[in-house]
Amino acid sequence: MNKRTLLALSALLAATLAVNASAAPTAVTKGVATYMSGGIGVDESTLIQQEAKNYPLELEFLIKATPKDEYAADIHVKINDASNNVVLDTVSNGPFFLAKLPAGSYHLAVAKKDQVKERKIAITPGSHQHIMFEWLE
């Protein structure tokens, strides 16, 4: 292998690693909420599952399908506090969504296109909730 080919392969490998590193889910803070979403592919899914224990709220999104259920992405997530103030309004980039919120009561609404599902939740110190939302195919 000549020097030019080796250099080109090295540059390609470095670019691939940079793209993969930047694609990993990262925590985002908006106001009082910190969240992370993703889980598409084995690497992202593993990372999210490892991080879940550090977040009091873990959401999972599924589409009930035949012959096998499928993960859902691009889910609109909106969380309001007890005074109906919007705490978080975003879109999940994958089937897993983790959130850190101050202790309190919240109204959670998740939507896949025009299909909205709602839930009242309470965040308490040291707690962890895993809530699964399912939509029909």
Does 103 have pLDDT greater than 80?
yes
Q: What is the pLDDT of residues 51-101, one digit of tens each?
A: 999 999 999 999 998 889 999 999 999 999 999 999 999 999 999 999 999
- Residue 14 is predicted with a pLDDT of 44
Indicate the pairing of strand 104-112 with strand 96-100: unpaired
Cα separations (Å) of 54 from 39, 50, 135? 16, 8, 27
- 88 assigned to some structural domain: yes
Instruction: Find the range with the poorest average confidence among 3-7, 66-70, 114-118, 122-126.
Output: 3-7
Read off the amino acid at residue 34. Answer: T
What total of structural domains would you count in the chain? 1
State phi, psi for 16 to the nearest 5 degrees.
-65, -45
DSSP collapsed to 3 states, the chain: CCHHHHHHHHHHHHHHHHHHHHHCCCCEEECCEEEEEECCCHHHHHHHHHHHHHCCEEEEEEEECCCCCEECCCEEEEEEECCCCEEEEEEECCCEEEEECCCEEEEEEEEECCEEEEEEEEECCCCCEEEEEEEEC
Q: What is the pLDDT of residue 6?
A: 46
Residue 10 lies in a domain: no
Tell me the pLDDT band of 128, cut-offs 50, 70 and 90: very high
How confident is the model at residue 24, as a pLDDT? 85
Identify the pLDDT of residue 19.
41
Q: What CATH number should be reported for the domain holding residue 49?
A: 2.60.40.10
6 occurs within a structural domain: no
Please report the pLDDT score of residue 7 as a whole number: 47
Sign (positive or negative) of CA dihedral 45, 111, 128, 101: positive
Average pLDDT, the chain: 88
Is 109 among the domain residues?
yes
107 compared with 22, residue with greater pLDDT: 107
Residue 96 lies in a domain: yes
* pLDDT reading at 8 higher than 90: no
On whether residue 70 sits in a domain, the answer given is: yes
Question: Model-level pTM?
Answer: 0.81
Q: Which domain, by its residues, includes 35? A: 25-136
**Is 19 within the bounds of a domain?**
no
pLDDT band at residue 4 using 50, 70 and 90 as cut-offs: low
Place of tokens 């490892």: 50
Q: Residue 60 in contact with residue 130, Cβ under 8 Å?
A: yes
